[in-house]
Chain A
Amino acid sequence: MSDQEYIPKSKAGKWFNDRLPLLTLGAHLTDYPTPKNLNYWWTFGGILTFCLLTQIITGIVLAMHYVAHADLAFASVEHIMRDVNYGWLIRYIHSNGASMFFLAVYIHIFRSLFYGSYKSPREVIWIIGLLIYLLMMAAAFMGYVLPWGQMSFWGATVITNLFSAIPLVGDSITTWLWGAYSVDNPTLNRFFSLHYLIPFLILGLVVLHIWALHVPGNNNPVGIDIKKPSKDTVPFHPYITIKDAFALLMFMIIFAGFVFFSPNVLGHSDNYIPANPLVTPAHIVPEWYLLPFYAILRSVPDKLGGVILMFGAIFILFVLPWLDTSKVRSAVFRPIYRQFYWIFVLDVLMLGYMGAMPAEGIYLVLARVGTIYYFAHFIIVMPVVGLLEKTDPIPMSISEPVLTGGADPALARKDNEKI
């Protein structure tokens, strides 16, 4: 990084900055050299920060009115919806905000997969990102339990029961998680506590995520290393800030569309029925953003096997930087991998769909095929394609696109080696 020594103009500023260099940090963030060719898929980092802050702020207000008790939770949510000033708005922003958060994070993750942002030297950014994603899933799951509706209760029952698949100690662990002999008031209480804690853990990891990003700098659609600062970069402010602001506003329009005009379309109607341990819903389904993993879980006939595969589906992502053997980052220059990338996207969407369907007949067969392909993509496709694929010529810099200059394969190969 080529930060020039920053010297505050005012005397007071200099005094303070010598003791805590916050102004230096501010100057670094403002000048941070960013590749000028970032496309709109790169705006989702800023959008995700907005989502996190929105969830934290609305969540804090909701917690002022919510009661974490099995007998009172459902009624307190209705109290928020009916009697708290703009309670309906705050709650709908929070509940739809969770979905928007996941929508944005999935775009962010698939962006990284397409452009190879997880590859050296950005493995640590990727791994911190995955930790954030894991915590997001935990927070979302526990948040969904809080209204104490039918899906809350039975979703909590299904997910916590997964731990009982662990040999020998499974049942004890499940009882320990519940704080009771079934999902009950103690479970709700601790879920509320953890639901309040996790967003702040995520916030801490977001700081590390950005810190780790600022060491090598952004990847870019061409996927090559660039000199910073250079004619290939622009300062973060105002170029990237204004672009992020524009993308964020577009995102907010969609967000507002859900909040104001179909606030319940992403939820399940059963969650407006108060939790009843004696009545099991016909189909227990998690929120849409967890469906692909739910499909993987149910595609295995053995409970423990299903749990292992479901967690494996996430943990395999942690070793992705080392499974991908290609020296070229961006799929733009990888004609074969690009095909497999889109098949993989299709596979995940199909798994999500199967997760919403009953686990029987053709749905189960397709879920199994999808699960096998999911793992094959990482274990077979990525290492093998990376080794065998003949990549397209890569430009030397962002300013010299390979298409206009007439590619020199010798230069391209040299660049490959550097990566």
Chain B
Amino acid sequence: MKRFNIKSLLFIAILLAASFNKLYSAGGETEPLKVDWSFKGITGKFDRASLQRGFQVYKEVCSSCHSMQYLSYRNLGEPGGPEFSKQEVKAIAASVEITDGPNDQGEMFTRPGRPADKFKNPYPNVKASIAANGGAYPPDMSVLVKARPGGSNYIYSVLVGYEDPPEGITLDDGVYYNKYMIGNKIKMSSPLSDDIVEYSDGTQATVDQMAKDVTTFLSWAAEPELEERHRTGVKVIIYLVLLTTLVYLSMKKIWSRVDTEV
């Protein structure tokens, strides 16, 4: 009986440990908001329209400071992403000037972007981006969602979490108060305001809508394989369960020859 007690103690300890985990990391910041993202869960998929709107927000707002150096323009047309048409991808790529070269004369030159090009950096290097942003590095957005505890919920929360600092907190110039940001202080001013972009599909560009759209886009950028991963995963698990059942039945049959249970 005693052994049973210790085992249940073990179980309780594990449960406690799991719940304590959530308490940890709690500084002054509020727990991120919970959004019911379409891409969560084992069959989760991205909302295509939201991805396209999110790209627009990224392009017109974020990309003036934030790089996204691991993505190529062609990714925008690939399955599982915003799935822009071939023509649209070409047009998006052609809208930026890419420095290429050296050519046969040994000189660098500029040309319109091609789908195979990586997303163009807004600054020539990290130091330039820090210098232009009051000493704060605007992080590369390629894997930003994976690089923050809380992921998509956290990014969304920060975008909508700007407010006036509570009594007793004074902020330096160029520092803003955000109730979800780790440490509550952020050097990026609130990037979104109502109707800062004009959606071509007629969706009302509220701060909340844009925050959701751009977070969806960033979630795809961090995990472009997500839809294929979910799809393959379901197939793999079904296959394994069937195979396990067959092997289980074979095992039962084989072991029926001896007097031992398996």
Chain A contact residues, CB within 8 Å of chain B:
36-37, 75, 78-79, 81-82, 88-89, 92, 234, 238-239, 242-243, 245-246, 249-250, 252-253, 256-257, 259-261, 263-264, 269-270, 272-273, 338-339, 342-343, 345-346, 349-350, 353, 356-357
Contacts and interface: CB of A to CB of B under 8 A. Distances in A.
Nearest to B146: A272
Contacts of B17: 349, 353
A272 B147 contact: yes
A342 B8 CA distance: 10
Nearest to A252: B240
Contacts of B2: 339
Contacts of A253: 237, 240-241, 244
Given A79-B70, A243-B251, A269-B151, 16 more contacts: A75-B69, A78-B142, A82-B75, A88-B229, A242-B255, A256-B233, A257-B233, A259-B233, A260-B229, A272-B146, A273-B147, A338-B3, A339-B2, A339-B6, A342-B7, A356-B21
Interface string B141-166: 01100111101000000000000000
Contacts of A250: 244
Nearest to A39: B262
Interface of B is mostly: helix
Contact of A346 (B6, B24, B70, B248): B6
Interface of B: 2-3, 6-7, 9-10, 13-14, 17, 20-21, 24, 42, 69-71, 75, 139, 142-143, 146-149, 151, 222, 224-225, 229-230, 232-234, 236-237, 240-241, 243-244, 247-248, 250-251, 254-255, 258, 260, 262
A345 B247 contact: no
Interface of A is mostly: helix
22 contacts: A78-B143, A82-B70, A234-B258, A234-B260, A239-B254, A242-B247, A243-B251, A249-B244, A253-B237, A253-B241, A256-B240, A257-B237, A260-B232, A260-B234, A260-B236, A263-B229, A273-B147, A338-B3, A342-B6, A345-B10, A353-B17, A356-B21
Nearest to B260: A36
Contacts of A256: 233, 236-237, 240
A154 B13 CA distance: 30
Contacts of A234: 258, 260
B6 A343 contact: yes
A256 B219 CA distance: 22
Given A78-B142, A89-B232, A349 B247 contact: no
